[in-house]
Amino acid sequence: MIFDTTFETEAQIEIRTLARKFAQERIRPIVEHDEETGTFRRDIIRELGNLGLTGIPVSEALGGAGLGYQEYIGAIEEIAAESGAYAVSVAVTGLPQVILEKQGNEAQKQKYIPKLASGEGIGSFVLSEAGSGSDAASLRTTAVRDGNHYVLNGTKLWITQADEADVFIAMARTGGPGAKGVSAFILEKGMSGILMGKREKKMGMNISHTMEVLLENVRVPVENRIAEEGDGMKVAFAALDSGRITIAATALGIARSAIECASRHANLREQFGKPILEFQGVGFMLADMLNEYHSAKLVVQKAAFLKDQGLPFSIQAAQAKVLATDMAMKVTTDAVQILGGSGYTREFPVERLMREAKMLQIVEGTNQIQRLVISRALKQD
């Protein structure tokens, strides 16, 4: 197989196979319709949960599969091969689980993680604002202590699946300027004052809704604060490191799907009496696409391995995110080119895959910010 699983364990292959079967049978038939109409099917997440695929890296005691990110990225890649949007939905629902298992107290873990791990609940990560994207620590949403509650006020932008979410991890300012003034809170669907603003009209990933979230005098119990006051950015950055690995895995799935479609077309499409794959201009392009996919995959697997081993992985996560998402953008663009005029139409999925890949270069920290993170590791004292 050109997309082999040589370096994967039996457990990893089993998870990947399970996710692939589900994605091909349940997501493939509806993805084009749902992307066109912006339809999010909550039952897809619930069914993935029934298969144990929405809580893979969470301990069994909290309702997860008790596996690791090496298994997780395989499932994410397979879902993304059929729909980048549903892969992102699974990954974002995973962020509150990762945050709470690592940094939440026992009561928070027991209350929130099992529902998310089972797919019955959907999670959201509420960080970005109009003036704080890459500079996340400059956020202006406030959380003012009032007895046994905090009162949150502010506007958040670019929040994935906020309109569907049951559990939100939100960052707000409890102190002075900068990162040390930010704290993290658990918000729940139905809390008074959590309002949905506009839904963004995007070029892709339309199944996964991106929302403006208005927080108007939202009263959050003190017990819903994660860790201590001032720990919010530590919570956020730890989550983003993990999220970059799943975004990279999403990019792998999108790229692989594009390669499969382009190579299939190149074998079937004939010009001048032979398949266009036999023309060096096309054949070499496909060879480079495959090479770049496998190169990026190894880096993503390394980042997941380091995380599973409890070793530092921030730099490797940044590298995985940059290499995989840049690769996906190039591979999908080349796939459109190989299909020619057909590639620019919606008769084939490659134009959708190209639009999905573009988003991945932006979310979870732009690739320019990732390069900044990586370059700082090279700084000599």
Which residue, 72, 65, 34, 40, is CA-closest to 51?
A: 65
Cα–Cα dist 324/360, whole Å: 9
Which residue, 162, 86, 102, 80, is CA-closest to 126?
A: 162
Q: Which residues of 209-219 are buried (b: 16+ CB within 10 A; e: fewer)?
A: bbbbbbbeebe
What value, to the nearest 5°, has the Cα angle with vertex 241 and ends 74 and 128?
115
Task: Return the number of other C-beta atoms located less than 10 Å from residue 26's C-beta.
Answer: 17
**Lookup: tokens for 353:** 């895959």
Backbone angles phi, psi at 159, to 5 degrees: -95, 115
Amino acid at 291: N
**Where are the alpha helices (H) located in the chain, listed in sequence order?**
10-22, 31-37, 42-50, 69-82, 84-103, 106-117, 232-268, 280-308, 314-339, 350-360, 367-376
Backbone angles phi, psi at 218, to 5 degrees: -80, 120
Three-state SS for 184?
strand
273 contacts: CB under 8 Å, gap ≥ 6: none
Q: Is residue 364 annotated as a catalytic residue, yes or no?
A: yes
Q: Is 307 exposed, middle or buried (0-12, 13-18, 19+ CB in 10 A)?
A: buried
**Lookup: tokens for 123:** 């999670």
What value, to the nearest 5°, has the Cα angle with vertex 243 and ends 186 and 361?
125
Three-state SS for 146?
strand
Cα–Cα dist 375/328, whole Å: 22
List residues with catalytic annotation.
364
